[in-house]
């Protein structure tokens, strides 16, 4: 398996200042990239919904890793479906087109697990991506991101443009977004438990009934999978990045409480949405295609995330 030599490559990482982006840059450097040749876009300085900004961003670049996204949990998906659809579609579509026009050597698009149909056989296989409509609360976001897979495959077919599409499962880790208005489930629960401890609360409310299952990928592992894909994968088919292990939300909150030494009662808010019933990926393609397997166990990853939040985020 011949690796793409990252040394001397000019690499653009959209969203590179974010939670996952910082890890991707670290992994790029470990894989031989020159940090001085890595460019990062920030939304406040470079709105990728504007075509001219995309054109400027990709100019003179060899590799684009597109991580930038307008994303959040169920609450944000319910409140702003139109924004999530428009922002993610326009950023990605214009960036891919601009990269093709600029003669970029490789485009790495990071998609979302929300693209899968609501009722997908578990574990999710990449070949099932189109076999149904996504779970309703995150469908606008998921469909916008999935459209970029179609674009990359079309550009490969017509223009021989080398674009790949990676599908990481739910991410977590240090430096995650802990804002209760837009955070995903793990940072939201860690913050909820932490604040309950500070107040001395004996119970905490949690959305849904606890039955849905989720799979979680530690951010450092996800970044390594993305960089390995950049180096070694050049095929049109999408690739799942995950652990292949699932946990129910009920078991997840009990594990977080155990690790944080909180013994209060969980109050299930069954009037709130559960989201997709199950999420767990088949990770065989990533393993077979370029040898990606995860390295950080779930308990260790959660412990690292809790420790970071208690030091920096609280």
pLDDT at 107 over 80: yes
Q: Report the percent of the chain where pLDDT is more than 70.
A: 99
The reported pLDDT for the residue numbered 25 is: 98
pLDDT at 163 over 90: yes
Contacts of 208 (CB under 8 A, 6+ apart): 249, 268, 269, 270, 272, 273, 274, 275
Quick check: is 141 catalytic?
yes
Q: Is 95 annotated as a binding residue?
A: no
Quick: pLDDT tens for 118-137.
989 999 999 999 999 998 98
74 against 146, higher pLDDT: 146
Q: What is the mean pLDDT of residues 238-266?
A: 97
User: What are the phi and psi torsion angles at 151 (to 5°)?
Assistant: -60, -45
Band (pLDDT 50/70/90 cuts) for residue 181 is confident
Q: Three-state DSSP class for 175?
A: coil
Q: Is 56 annotated as a binding residue?
A: no
The DSSP call for residue 265 is E
What residue spans define the domains of the chain?
11-173+217-244+278-296
User: Do the Cβ atoms of 101 and 214 come closer than 8 Å?
Assistant: no
Tokens of 303: 């412990």
* Of 304, 14, 288, nearest in space to 148 by CA: 14
Q: Give the containing element (helix H, strand E) for 290.
A: helix 284-290
Q: Is 168 annotated as a binding residue?
A: yes
The reported pLDDT for the residue numbered 77 is: 76
Q: Is 167 annotated as a binding residue?
A: no
Assign a CATH topology to domain 11-173+217-244+278-296.
Rossmann fold (3.40.50)
pLDDT at 40 over 90: yes
CA 48 to chain centre: 18
Q: Is 169 annotated as a binding residue?
A: yes
Q: What is the mean pLDDT of residues 282-293?
A: 98
Band (pLDDT 50/70/90 cuts) for residue 314 is low
The reported pLDDT for the residue numbered 279 is: 86
Quick: pLDDT tens for 48-68.
999 999 999 999 999 999 999
Task: Name the catalytic one among 86, 100, 133, 141.
Answer: 141
Q: Look at 7-11, 72-76, 272-276 and tell me which has the smallest mean pLDDT.
A: 72-76
The reported pLDDT for the residue numbered 273 is: 84
* Of 20, 25, 43, 45, nearest in space to 35 by CA: 25
The reported pLDDT for the residue numbered 78 is: 84
Q: Report the percent of the chain where pLDDT is more than 90.
A: 85
Q: Is 75 annotated as a binding residue?
A: no
216 against 75, higher pLDDT: 216
Band (pLDDT 50/70/90 cuts) for residue 276 is confident
215 against 2, higher pLDDT: 215
Provide the strand spans (E) within the chain. 11-14, 38-41, 63-66, 106-110, 163-168, 170-172, 203-207, 213-214, 216-218, 239-241, 247-248, 265-269
Quick: pLDDT tens for 145-161.
999 999 999 999 999 99
Q: What is the mean pLDDT of residues 28-39?
A: 97
The H-assigned helical ranges of 1-106 are 19-30, 51-58, 74-79, 81-101
């Amino acid at each position: 398996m011949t690796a793409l030599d990252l040394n001397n490559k000019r690499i653009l990482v959209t969203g590179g200042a974010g939670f996952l982006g910082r890890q991707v840059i670290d992994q790029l450097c470990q894989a031989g990239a020159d940090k001085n040749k890595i460019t990062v876009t920030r939304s406040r300085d470079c709105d990728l919904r504007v075509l001219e900004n995309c054109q400027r961003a990709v100019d003179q670049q060899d590799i684009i890793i597109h991580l930038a996204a307008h994303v959040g949990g169920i609450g944000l998906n319910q409140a702003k479906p139109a924004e999530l659809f428009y922002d993610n579609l326009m950023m990605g579509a214009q960036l891919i087109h601009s990269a093709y026009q600029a003669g970029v050597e490789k485009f790495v698009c990071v998609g979302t697990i929300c693209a899968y149909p609501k009722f997908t056989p578990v574990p999710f296989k990449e070949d099932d991506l189109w076999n149904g409509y996504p779970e309703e609360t995150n469908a606008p976001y998921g469909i916008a991101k999935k459209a970029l897979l179609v674009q990359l495959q079309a550009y490969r077919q017509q223009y021989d443009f080398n674009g790949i599409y990676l599908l990481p499962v739910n991410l977590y880790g240090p430096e995650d977004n802990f804002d209760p208005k837009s955070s995903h489930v793990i940072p939201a629960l860690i913050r909820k438990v932490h604040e309950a401890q500070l107040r001395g609360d004996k119970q905490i409310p949690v959305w849904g009934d606890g039955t849905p299952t989720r799979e979680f990928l530690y951010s450092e592992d996800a970044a390594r999978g993305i960089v390995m894909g950049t180096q070694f994968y050049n095929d049109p088919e999408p690739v799942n990045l995950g652990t292949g292990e699932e946990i129910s939300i009920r078991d997840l909150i009990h594990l977080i409480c155990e690790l944080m030494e909180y013994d209060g009662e969980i109050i299930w808010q069954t009037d709130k949405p559960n989201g997709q019933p199950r999420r767990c990926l088949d990770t065989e393609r990533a393993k077979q295609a370029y040898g990606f397997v995860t390295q950080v166990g779930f308990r260790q990853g959660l412990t690292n995330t809790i420790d970071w939040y208690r030091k920096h985020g609280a």
